[in-house]
Amino acid sequence: MKLNRLLVALAATLAATPALAHTGHGASGFVTGMMHPLTGTDHLMAMVAVGLWAALVAPKLFWVAPAGFMGGMLAGGIAGMGGFTLPAVEPMIAGSIILFGIMAALMVRLPAIAAFGLAAVFGAFHGIAHGAEMPAGIGAAQYAAGFLIATALLHGVGIVAGLASQRMAVARLGRVAGGLVALGGVALVAS
């Protein structure tokens, strides 16, 4: 019964389609930065998927891929705040949802350095989007702190879900969640 409720809750979360990372006006730099990944379905799904994948395939090194993602995101955020951009930022963000969801579903194992690097590359694209969308007139450091803390929390949700599914001896649940995230990414691309 708990499994069914969890799957329904996950499906409802993935079915929700709030505006992609558009934050409120008049908020502080920290709050605005924190809300960016929390209110954008694309960022939310990708960041949870990174944590889920990391916990499913490397429970003792679950921090490696999230650390790579956050490092890449910080570098990309700084670049984006400075006006730097890359082609295909949005497709790469969508691709990160699909890729990390599939990697969790299939429990794709990579060497730690490769997991770190892969996550860092996709994190950089998320960071460029965050940095480019920073509203004028707010503090860059507070904004970056906000989106980094929100990202860490979202990675944590994925890590907890992955570790819990391992401990409950239902790793299949984590794999199903990864598949649902990948399908959510496909749905975002299609919409």
Cα dihedral 67, 69, 72, 78 sign: negative
pLDDT at 138: 93
Q: What is the DSSP letter of 34?
A: H
pLDDT at 165: 85
Residue 134 has, within 13 A of its CA and on its CB side, a CA count of 31
pLDDT at 1: 45
Q: Can you tell me the distance from the alpha carbon of 102 to that of 120, in angstroms, rounded to the nearest whole number?
A: 18
Could you tell me the pTM of the whole model? 0.83
> pLDDT tens across 96-124, in order?
999 999 999 999 999 999 999 999 999 99
Q: Which residues of the chain have pLDDT under 50?
A: 1, 3-4, 6-25
Domain ranges of the chain: 30-190
Phi, psi for 79 (deg, rounded to 5)? -65, -45
- List, as own/partner pairs, every contact residues 14-22 make where C-beta atoms lie below 8 angstroms and the sequence separation is at least 24, other chains included: 14/41, 14/45, 14/180, 14/181, 14/183, 14/184, 14/187, 16/41, 17/41, 17/191, 21/129, 21/130, 21/133
Phi, psi for 18 (deg, rounded to 5)? -70, 165
